A and B are shown apart, each in its own frame.
Chain A
Amino acid sequence: MDLIIGGAYQGKSEYAKRLYGLDEAGIFTCREDGAIDFSARCIDALEEYTFWCVRNGVDPVESFRAREDEWRESVLICADIFCGVVPLGAENRAWREATGRLCAYLAGRADTVTRMFCGLPQRLK
């Protein structure tokens, strides 16, 4: 599994498309409905999945751990949402926490971790 992280609009999915030769059909983009289609090579916007998790009492690390067989060969993309001040709202705090724990777990399992900065990849692992 390859993990790509980075701030909003830093070119994460564009990089994945370029590197892995994917078109739109090869990328599943998470929304706030909890669904993930692991048959896609690349899963984008994991932060939307974790937002749904927080609202529905699901532990995203446990849910990913339970389905490791399905994403072991995947490209996973998650937004870095960790550099602002502590959010005032409890839900946003929980979202940031859940997303951070999922990223840390996935980074530990990943073969490569790449951070995007202004469209440029920075290899972290």
Chain B
Amino acid sequence: MTVFISGGCKNGKSALAQRAAVRLGGGGPLYYVATMIPYDGEDRARIARHIAGRAGMGFETLELARDIGRCLELADPGGTFLVDSVTALLLNEMYPDSHNGDADPDALTRCVDGLLRVAKCAGNAVFVSDYIYSDSIRYDAFTEKYRADLAGIDRALARVCDTVLEMCAGHFIVHKGAWEE
């Protein structure tokens, strides 16, 4: 089964995703696919919070900043994979050189292909993205391209996943499929 979770920041998406993965895993292999590359102390503190938050839940952590489909080769593909987050993955694929220079034009295709492969081939998969589309800022072209591509990934995942949830203030809205806690 596949679950796609998005919504605003700091609403509990990761916590919901972890609970979902544990439940779908049913005691089988459980993989936390961490995509974020820490660039400073703030990032490291955030990662430490996430690691502490999932301690004891049974996840094996796979660090994959790019080429997300590889998680199927690095682990038991029949297991349950939690990809957190699509947002960081796209950033890493667009700007492989420490987020400097020009965006890689093939980043979107690579992300979509890899993520859809995980959705199709993994025993179970849970994907976490970020809903960054409803503010009133007129962004520069680089940021706008990033938003457009992330939304492209979101729509592709929402199309194929069995369940689509939006997290809002610690509660979820079911947009597709069924989910109860």
Contacts and interface: CB of A to CB of B under 8 A. Distances in A.
A85 to B, nearest CB: 7
B175 A9 contact: no
Secondary structure at chain B's binding surface: helix, strand, loop or mixed?
A: mixed
Nearest to A82: B134
B84 interface: no
Contact of B134 (A7, A87, A92, A120): A7
Interface in A1-29: 6-11
A99 B134 CA distance: 12
A83 B175 contact: no
Interface string B141-181: 00000011001101101110000101000000101100000
Nearest to B138: A92
B136 A119 contact: no
Contact of A118 (B8, B135, B154): B154
B137 A87 contact: yes
Secondary structure at chain A's binding surface: helix, strand, loop or mixed?
A: loop
Given A84-B135, A92-B137, A118 B164 contact: yes
Contact of B135 (A6, A10, A11, A85): A85
A83 B6 contact: no
Interface of A: 6-11, 79-85, 87, 92, 95-96, 99, 117-120, 122
Given A6-B133, A11-B155, 18 more contacts: A7-B134, A7-B151, A8-B147, A9-B151, A10-B155, A79-B134, A81-B134, A84-B134, A85-B135, A92-B138, A99-B136, A117-B164, A117-B175, A118-B129, A118-B151, A118-B158, A118-B175, A120-B164
